[in-house]
Amino acid sequence: MKKLLLDVDTGIDDAIGIILAAKRAEVVGITTVNGNTSLDNATVNTLKVLKLIGREDIPVVRGADRPLLREPHFEVSVHGDDGIGGALKRMEIGEASPGFGPDFIIEQAEKHGGELTLVLTAPLTNMALAIRKEPRLKDWLKEVIIMGGAVRVPGNITPTAEYNMYIDPEAAKIVLHSGLPVKLVGLDVTEQTLLTGSEIERMQGNPEGQFVKDSTGGYMKRYEEITGLHACAMHDPFAVGVAIDPSFAWTERLHVDVETNSDLCDGQTVADFSNWTGKEPNIDVCLEADSERFIEYLVETIRL
Ligand code: BDR
Ligand code: CA
């Protein structure tokens, strides 16, 4: 079983990613960060999802409550006021574990030396803080999977930027240039990895399936307004899937940078397909996905 540490801003699709990871991998812990919703909401939502699946043994550690330099920007229209579309409203939960997310990432990376894969499905603030504090992270981590960026397709928060990159581009720059073994799972592959109403019906039969149904109602509606499709993108679950089974996506190694200084293009991930920059490729970028097989795997997993 793969050993994973998740960094999340739970978020509807983060929540589904957490369920997938907990059922199919060994999750050593989860760090939370400001993003789709506030750090408080993201932490509460993570604790609720773990309680729902009976996995309160997985430690949840709070991280950064804002981007490195910029103001938070919550995605209420997609994820609702609470971050998970109003699902699990009445659930009582315990406390998060003590500590600070970036320190927990460092501790776990050292402890599991060479065996741990990080899956980052949120703005990269926690990871950037961890890298700044502990340069040896790159010797300790097996792989870093990032849900973020868009190299061949338009953005989903501005014409050019994907949300996680846009919220904290300064943090993203630190992570992309860190020398860590990074795989980018961006909109190029996640926007074609769609969960439809009929697949949600096939997930029914346990509390996890009910949660997917309850949390995705508004998300589907918003997605339908934008794309015309009655479906929603499984951004974060797909990143978890690629961490567990890399054959869900095909990658190309490219030089990738992120824009931090432009009114129009902040947060845009720029991949150098034609070697214009002459810079060494630094990132494995997912360009094609076996979305159909992944969605089947997700439906089966939720039913487990
Ligand atoms: C990413 O942004 C968030 O809204 C989702 O949870 C996902 O991590 C997609 O751009
Ligand atoms: Ca997310």
The per-residue pLDDT string of the chain (304 residues; one tens digit each, 9 = 90 and over) reads: 999 999 999 989 999 999 999 999 999 999 999 998 999 999 999 999 999 999 999 999 999 999 999 999 887 777 778 888 888 888 999 899 999 999 999 999 999 989 999 999 999 999 999 999 999 999 999 999 999 999 999 999 999 999 999 999 999 999 999 999 999 999 999 999 999 999 999 999 999 999 999 999 888 888 888 888 889 999 999 999 999 999 999 999 999 999 999 999 999 999 999 999 999 999 999 999 999 999 999 999 999 9
Taking each helix axis from N to C terminus, what angle separates 12-24 and 39-52, rounded to the nearest 10 degrees? 40
Candidate from 13, 32, 74 with most ligand 1 atoms within 8 A of CB, to mutate: 13
- Ligand 1 center from residue 1 Cα (angstroms): 26
Residue 190 CA, closest ligand 1 atom number: 9
- Residues with CB in 5 Å of ion ligand 2: 9, 11, 14, 121-122, 236
Complex ipTM more than 0.95, yes or no: yes
pTM of the model: 0.96
Which ligand sits nearest to residue 164's alpha carbon?
1
**Residue in 16, 33, 288 with CA at minimum distance from that of residue 163:** 33
9 is catalytic: yes
Residues with a CB atom less than 6 Å from ligand 1: 11, 13-14, 36, 75, 78, 121, 147, 156, 162-164, 235-236
